Structure 1
């Protein structure tokens, strides 16, 4: 088993002028400011005394104890970027007791379980260098809580902590765009093969933006719809890096903040937000919170929220996913299951229609029961359609809306499709999605039909099922023949319905036959190849003084150690790999000489493997739940030409 810490005694204090430190102690005006960030942990653990100090001439933090009983714990939340390893130096005072030691814990937040917990011996008067290799195990993304714990052996203790750093974490590149490049990416989104990503999945953690973008690109995609449940879930610099690698990038998010916690909603939404929550006739949706579509105050807040994401990350496109009333076949259930029936929605319905009553869904004896007073129920069906289209139109086209804030980007609308008789009309009634009305109201460039869960979750769904969605595509053409048609599939959320390449070919062939202009699917990190095939070397690229091996999926960290020392065979000479560094699907090589662009190299890739630990636990292959390690067979070689650095626009 690989150790999580590499700790070595240093013969001299290391210089600590480290780049890109996540905590370099330079921002604190005084000790009081330091103590506002580095705080006691509590829970019965006393805190060491913290003060500003220096180590080898650089700012540092001194921690001291008085020898009272109990381990002393101090904690700090650190903003992090994916990097090779977390490193720092701790210097032990000459007077510390011989039995004194320290330990460090890393957590996703201060009260979560330990991702890492390791103790290390302190030698009085000497520094200890602590390195925590980042091997895709910690799943940190935006921050970690770091706990430093001192065991003083019952005597006063003093240590000095130097800058805490992530060496190897490349800063986010800022992409320099051009009008021509934007037009090309727009065309890719309108006519190309795209995919959805959700970087909350561990598959995307602990790797560079360049790694993620290159994996998407070498898998043949033209564009990406970047799904996020919240603005804080978007990785800084990733959109620009995908654009630099010539991928069109659209933002996809949900209109109702359904996956936000109550604490998040309370912190960020205006007062009174609880009155905006959708309510249902039963308890089947109680684990979720949906904000409704009929509240102008929410619209105003949402415009600012959405525009911030579009402008900060400079997306090429935007669409809502699943903008609907979220119950499939609710009126057909026994008992009926329906929403929105909240007081706020009922009041809005009555104001809009002039009705003094609202349909009843729970008491068949009520004169306004929806199957009895069908006229009142039809008013509600029409009103629900209008509320969705009004909301969508206001967020995109209204004053201060997205079209005004981000002129020139592509806008897509989005509804669901399903292979059932009279599916277009039934989804209109059940979920409030009217394709024709939505397109004519919102005026999008593109309209997606999303595969509904009863279809995509069916393991027996045939690959050519898009042909059965023709009525939904026809509705798009009826609304506006100039609006492009997109088809969305789910190819991997469930193990039994994860679709292999033969099935995918049938799907894409059927989309072309049905006249679909562009496709996308959920989700890139859940695709069949990740669970079922070993990695494949796709490119060799020069990148400054390094050589990049670009694979089609994420590797395990051990692959870098495996490649070190191997030889790359060229036509006239071989190149020995002196160093090899892992970065997701990339291996960054330092050969003993750099081959020229255009030279063909034969690369021994046998033994390189993927990493089941970062897969979503939804495999249909043993060992459950993540499936097997897929390893390139021993002796395998791949011959490819050396390419130059990727020819996207230069980045600052």
Structure 2
């Protein structure tokens, strides 16, 4: 199966495949090191550049050649025309963080960097797509039903210190080999699977983890449980154990975020760190913690990230009738986070093309509903006007492929913009309100001649 059928979320498509978890031998609790108590990390003193706010978009660098098919110059122009001030370079496949010019083509990164657009490096916390981590089979999660995820998606457990350490070294490699490229680093999908999967009846929906013997033994060690024959079913059906299990999963995710932030701070303290949670319409913080292991309040208070992103769940972005202002339904998350840290910037991530792509590719039933430029521009602006500091979506190249990107002859500006009589700055100008302009000509330096009855026809994009 091609990578672009899996798309952004490791759990987006519930395609039956063969996924085998290497079963660990029983390890007595006496030889396990209990997870350390979670400490509170100090708040960062880093300032956040203005460009990290506002409109953003995800870019999968492996899609640029075979799907987006754009030059570095065209890529930057597309971003500028849509008012994009930052991008999330999304790497879902195996990469150890050393130089890889096939994965990260320098001409595209430099073009974005030179344009003034800020660059996040987005990695996935719980999975690697395609090739597995060499020597990391023992770090994989065990799911309630191993066939509930496709064979090219490798899920790794936050309970495995070796996996956390591998990600830490990966971060250090990235910041060593790409020292002046990225403005921030983040791990989306930093959660355990998956919403309401623990009680699912259908095999393909029983993608709940990690239920490996290693995780159970580590759980026993942490809470001094003497029963060496403890099973996950016993944990689930014992209210006392299950409550501790929920916290056990949450602590592992907080530790992962803390170790990543620590690695960034130690290697290059100027790089921002964003932590990620998840939003579900009609959900609650308690239920999200239970099913995903995500205690978003604790992540904000104990990790103290520079920014916090709320990822739209597949349960929401798969809805055909999803309105562009749906992010107001995540207010219950924002309200709680702001109680803990009133000043933390909060971003939201949406998904414009995954549902459409899956349906036209035959991987999901139902009609393919388009979310073109007017939808995602509305999504971002609604979010920015309702308390979010930034809004991003998946994914630029696929949006280009399906004609969902802003048409070439259009510019959308979401701020008052000066218009001049020629493509040069002067004191003689008028202001236009935010709107979409039709372009009739352009000049170097991101100057565009717009269709208007006024003599002031030239605008320059920031």
TM-score of the two chains, using structure 2 as the length reference: 0.70
Highest relative contact order (Cα 8 Å, sep 6+), 1 or 2?
Answer: 2
Aligned position for 1:639: 440
Aligned position for 1:504: 376
d(CA) in 1 for partners of 2:280, 2:289: 12
Aligned position for 2:309: 448
d(CA) in 1 for partners of 2:162, 2:401: 45
Change in 2 beyond 3 A, CA 1:509/1:644:
closer
Q: Partner of 2:251: helix, strand, or coil?
A: helix
- Map 1:136-535 to 2 at 5 A: 186-189=49-52, 191-201=53-63, 202=65, 207-229=70-92, 230-231=94-95, 232=100, 233-262=103-132, 265-266=133-134, 269=135, 273-283=136-146, 284-285=148-149, 287=151, 288-313=153-178, 314-334=181-201, 338-357=208-227, 360-361=231-232, 368=234, 370-371=236-237, 373-397=238-262, 401-420=263-282, 422-495=283-356, 496-527=368-399, 530-531=402-403, 535=407
Structure 1: runs of 5 or more not aligned: 1-182, 363-367, 540-595, 600-636, 647-652
Q: Partner of 2:403: helix, strand, or coil?
A: helix
d(CA) in 2 for partners of 1:533, 1:645: 18
- Map 1:61-72 to 2 at 5 A: none
Q: Partner of 2:219: helix, strand, or coil?
A: helix
CA drift of 1:383 comes to 0.3
CA drift of 1:244 comes to 0.7
CA drift of 1:480 comes to 1.1
d(CA) in 1 for partners of 2:388, 2:406: 32
Aligned length: 356
Change in 2 beyond 3 A, CA 1:516/1:597:
closer
The answer to whether the Cα contact below 8 Å between 1:186 and 1:410 also exists between their aligned partners in 2 is no
Question: What do you get for the CA RMSD once the two structures are aligned?
Answer: 3.1
d(CA) in 2 for partners of 1:425, 1:279: 24
d(CA) in 2 for partners of 1:503, 1:479: 32
d(CA) in 1 for partners of 2:278, 2:408: 35
CA drift of 1:475 comes to 2.3
The answer to whether the Cα contact below 8 Å between 1:185 and 1:316 also exists between their aligned partners in 2 is no
The answer to whether the Cα contact below 8 Å between 2:373 and 2:404 also exists between their aligned partners in 1 is no
d(CA) in 1 for partners of 2:386, 2:406: 33
Q: Partner of 1:415: helix, strand, or coil?
A: strand
d(CA) in 2 for partners of 1:305, 1:194: 25
Q: Partner of 2:50: helix, strand, or coil?
A: helix
d(CA) in 2 for partners of 1:473, 1:359: 38
Aligned position for 2:20: none
Change in 2 beyond 3 A, CA 1:482/1:185:
closer
d(CA) in 2 for partners of 1:486, 1:290: 25
Change in 2 beyond 3 A, CA 1:480/1:416:
same
CA drift of 1:645 comes to 8.2
Relative to its length, the structure with more helix (as a share) is 2
